[in-house]
Amino acid sequence: MADCIFCQIVAGKSPCYKIYEDDRFFAFLDINPNVAGHTLIIPKIHYRWVYEVPDFAEYWQVVLKITRAIQKSLKPKWINYFTYGVIPHAHIHLFPRDENIGLLGFDGIIPGKIKVEGKQLEEIAKKITSEFKN
């Protein structure tokens, strides 16, 4: 979809802090994160809803692979998964969390937004992607 920001990211027309890419899926850091390491995993082909993505299980296997990389690199206490969002392109949010991140924001479940500078995003992306090389 030409006007979809996620489709533009996949096409290389919009910048991102890429975490992972294969022939069907793409993952990158959210530039307006709720937590440090807030990652989005999307299908490369435009689908409106997560449940419309063919091979739903394969999609979640990619999410699990990225989860393992985040666990090793950022060492959170736990990771939350959410499939909400305002961008009309299927996406799964990964929120690395620990006891220092309170339950603020959306009904006490989703933490409020935080400020993370570009350099910090770059460093976080490098930490996570380094786990795919090991």
- Which value, in Å, is the radius of gyration of the alpha carbons in the chain? 14
Among residues 38, 89, 91, 93, the one annotated as catalytic is 91
Examine the residue annotation and report whether 91 is marked as an active-site residue of this protein.
yes
Q: What is the pLDDT of residue 118?
A: 86
Q: What is the pLDDT of residue 106?
A: 45
**pTM for the predicted model, two decimal places:** 0.89
Q: What is the pLDDT of residue 132?
A: 85
**CB-based burial, 108-124: b 16+ in 10 Å, e otherwise:** eebbeeeebeeeebeeb
Q: What is the pLDDT of residue 107?
A: 47
Q: What is the pLDDT of residue 109?
A: 62
CATH of domain 5-133: 3.30.428.10
Residue 109 φ then ψ, to 5°: -105, -50
Per-residue pLDDT of the chain (134 residues; tens, 9 = 90+): 779 999 999 999 999 999 999 999 999 999 999 899 999 999 999 999 999 999 899 999 999 999 999 999 999 988 999 998 889 999 999 999 876 655 544 445 667 777 888 899 999 999 999 998 76
